[in-house]
C-alpha cells in the first residue's frame, strides 16, 4: 500500500503497527465540494491527503465562514478524528476544495497505534502544534491587521497555491474564506483595481502588480 510513503514516521513504526494501519485504511475519492467532516460530533477518522486540496473552516451562529487552513498533498488532518483527543473539541468543517483522494484511517485504529507507538504519538503532537500555530496566526490577522492588508495577503497566498496570477474565485468565496461580508470584499477589490494592483472580471481576480500587493500586505 502507498500509505507508508505519505507518513514521514512510517519506517519508525513496528511491522505490526504498519500492518494494522494498512489493513484498516481505505482510499476515498472526494469530488470538489464534498464535506468530509462536519463538527466535533462527526469523528470519521484521520485523513491523509494523497492528492487535491481540502479546506478546514468554522461557521459562526450567523452563518459566516472563516477558513482556518488548507490541506494539500501529503498533509494530515487530525480534527476529523478529534473524538480520540478528549480535551480537544473543534466545530471544524472539512471540505474538498478540489477533486481529491484521501486515505481514511479509522479513529480506533489510529488511536490504538498511537497509544503504543512513541513515533506516531510524537508526530501527532507535532501536527497539532503546527495547526494550532496556524489558527493563532489567523486570530492575529483578524484581530490586529487591517482588512486591506489581510486581503492583499490572501490574494498573494492564493496565487502561490494555484501557481497563477489569475484566480478563478468569486467575491462571495473570498468573503467566506475571510469571515466578512461580500460587499466589504467587493469594495476593497474595486479599490485595489483603481490602484492598479488587480484587475477584476466576472468570477475572477488577476494580480497586476505583485509588488504593490506585497507592500499592502506589509
- Cell matching residue 144: 490586529
Give the residue among 85, 29, 90 at the shortest CA–CA distance from 54: 29
What fold does the segment set 2-143 form as a domain?
Answer: Jelly Rolls (2.60.120)
* Rg from Cα positions in the chain: 19
Distance (Å, whole) CA 189 – CA 173: 13
End-to-end CA separation in angstroms for the chain: 45
User: CATH 1.10.10.10 occupies which residues in the chain?
Assistant: 146-217
Enumerate residues 6+ apart whose C-beta is below 8 A from 69: 56, 131, 134, 135, 138
∠ CA 56-163-75, rounded to 5°: 35
Average pLDDT value over all residues in the chain: 92
3-state SS assignment for residue 203: coil
The pTM assigned to this predicted structure is 0.83
Contact status, residue 114 vs residue 55, Cβ threshold 8 Å: no
**What is the structure's pLDDT at 120?**
96
Enumerate residues 6+ apart whose C-beta is below 8 A from 90: 40, 58, 79, 82
- Cell matching residue 151: 486581503
pLDDT at 87 exceeding the cut of 70: no
Contact status, residue 115 vs residue 124, Cβ threshold 8 Å: no
User: CATH 2.60.120.10 occupies which residues in the chain?
Assistant: 2-143
Distance (Å, whole) CA 113 – CA 121: 9
Confidence of residue 32 (pLDDT cuts 50, 70, 90): very high
What fold does the segment set 146-217 form as a domain?
Answer: Arc Repressor Mutant, subunit A (1.10.10)
Which of 4-8, 33-37, 38-42, 187-191 is the least confident region? 38-42
pLDDT at 64 exceeding the cut of 70: yes
Amino acid at each position: 500500500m502507498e500509505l507508508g510513503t505519505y507518513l514521514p514516521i512510517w519506517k519508525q513504526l513496528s511491522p505490526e503497527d504498519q500492518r494494522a494501519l494498512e489493513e484498516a485504511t481505505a482510499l476515498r475519492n472526494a469530488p470538489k465540494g464534498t464535506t468530509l467532516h462536519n463538527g466535533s460530533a462527526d469523528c470519521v477518522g484521520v485523513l491523509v491527503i494523497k492528492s487535491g486540496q481540502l479546506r478546514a473552516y468554522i461557521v459562526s451562529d450567523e452563518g459566516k465562514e472563516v477558513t482556518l487552513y488548507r490541506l494539500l498533498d501529503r498533509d494530515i488532518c487530525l480534527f476529523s478524528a478529534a473524538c480520540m483527543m478528549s480535551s480537544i473539541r473543534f466545530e471544524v468543517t472539512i471540505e474538498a476544495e478540489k477533486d481529491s483522494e484521501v486515505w481514511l484511517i479509522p479513529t480506533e485504529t489510529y488511536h490504538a497505534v498511537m497509544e503504543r507507538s512513541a513515533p506516531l504519538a510524537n508526530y501527532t503532537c507535532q501536527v497539532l502544534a503546527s495547526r494550532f500555530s496556524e489558527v493563532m496566526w489567523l486570530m492575529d490577522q483578524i484581530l490586529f491587521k487591517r482588512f486591506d492588508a489581510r486581503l492583499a495577503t490572501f490574494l498573494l497566498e492564493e496565487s502561490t497555491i494555484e501557481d497563477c496570477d489569475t484566480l478563478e474565485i468569486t467575491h462571495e468565496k473570498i468573503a467566506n474564506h475571510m469571515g466578512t461580508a461580500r460587499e466589504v470584499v467587493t469594495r476593497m477589490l474595486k479599490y485595489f483595481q483603481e490602484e492598479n494592483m488587480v484587475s477584476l472580471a466576472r468570477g475572477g481576480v488577476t494580480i497586476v502588480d505583485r509588488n504593490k500587493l506585497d507592500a499592502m500586505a506589509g
